[in-house]
């Protein structure tokens, strides 16, 4: 049976993950409007990943006899000045998600909920990858600042990204 405190915290995380998905979909729309389909693709993949993260939490709560309670999702930003600003926001956001996951790990440890602690280790590792990916693109964009040809090359590279549901492993 899932501890009620853990259940509440996991439901809050589901809301945060849905917000993340919405945030990345908003960025995809922004990049589409800027005629950067590769960047838009990268953000759509981020959206899909966030939805898979939601479902991993959703299934876990149900498997442990808890109850998923969906809450409203707050509005997300819809405009950025340029790709650098968008990826600065992406990197900051991933750092915030890491903080949320680390907080969940701490709570599961305090509550001696070893099963939740165990499943959260997947998210801890995932966040290392998420931060690194966002920072890598941000650093590339900073190197390219003002170079339209480089931006188009990076856009083409990002268009090659495909979705793989890592939560299924």
Asked if pLDDT for residue 112 goes beyond 80, the answer is yes
The rounded distance, in Å, linking the Cα atoms of 78 and 136 is 23
How does pLDDT run across 84-95, given as a tens digit for each residue? 999 999 999 999
Asked if pLDDT for residue 127 goes beyond 90, the answer is yes
> Do residues 50 and 17 make contact, with C-beta atoms less than 8 angstroms apart?
yes
Domains and CATH numbers, the chain: 4-168 (1.20.1260.10)
**Confidence tier at 167 by pLDDT (50, 70, 90):** confident
Q: Which residues have C-beta within 8 Å of that of residue 123, sequence separation ≥ 6?
A: 53, 101, 104
The rounded distance, in Å, linking the Cα atoms of 119 and 105 is 9
Asked if pLDDT for residue 168 goes beyond 90, the answer is no
Q: What percent of the chain has pLDDT over 90?
A: 95
**b/e burial code for range 53-87 (CB count within 10 A of at least 16 → b):** bbebbbebbeebebeeeeeeeeebeeebeebeebb
Asked if pLDDT for residue 161 goes beyond 80, the answer is yes
Asked if pLDDT for residue 73 goes beyond 80, the answer is yes
The rounded distance, in Å, linking the Cα atoms of 160 and 103 is 34
Asked if pLDDT for residue 9 goes beyond 80, the answer is yes
Asked if pLDDT for residue 169 goes beyond 80, the answer is no
pLDDT of residue 145: 82
How does pLDDT run across 144-153, given as a tens digit for each residue? 988 999 999 9
pTM above 0.75, yes or no: yes
């Amino acid at each position: 049976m899932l501890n009620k405190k853990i259940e509440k915290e996991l439901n809050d995380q589901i809301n945060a993950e849905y917000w993340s998905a919405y945030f990345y979909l908003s960025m995809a729309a922004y990049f589409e409007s800027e005629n950067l389909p590769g960047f838009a693709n990268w953000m759509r993949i981020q959206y899909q990943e966030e939805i898979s993260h939601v479902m991993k939490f959703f299934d876990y709560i149900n498997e442990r006899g808890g109850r998923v309670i969906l809450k409203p999702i707050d509005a997300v930003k819809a405009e950025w000045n340029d790709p650098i600003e968008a990826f600065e926001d992406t990197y900051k956001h991933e750092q915030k998600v890491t903080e949320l996951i680390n907080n969940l790990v701490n709570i599961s440890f305090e509550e001696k909920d070893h099963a939740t602690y165990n499943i959260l280790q997947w998210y801890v590792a995932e966040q290392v990858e998420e931060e690194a990916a966002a920072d890598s693109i941000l650093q590339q964009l900073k190197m390219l600042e003002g170079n339209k040809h480089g931006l188009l090359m990076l856009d083409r590279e990002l268009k090659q990204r495909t979705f793989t549901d890592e939560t299924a492993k």
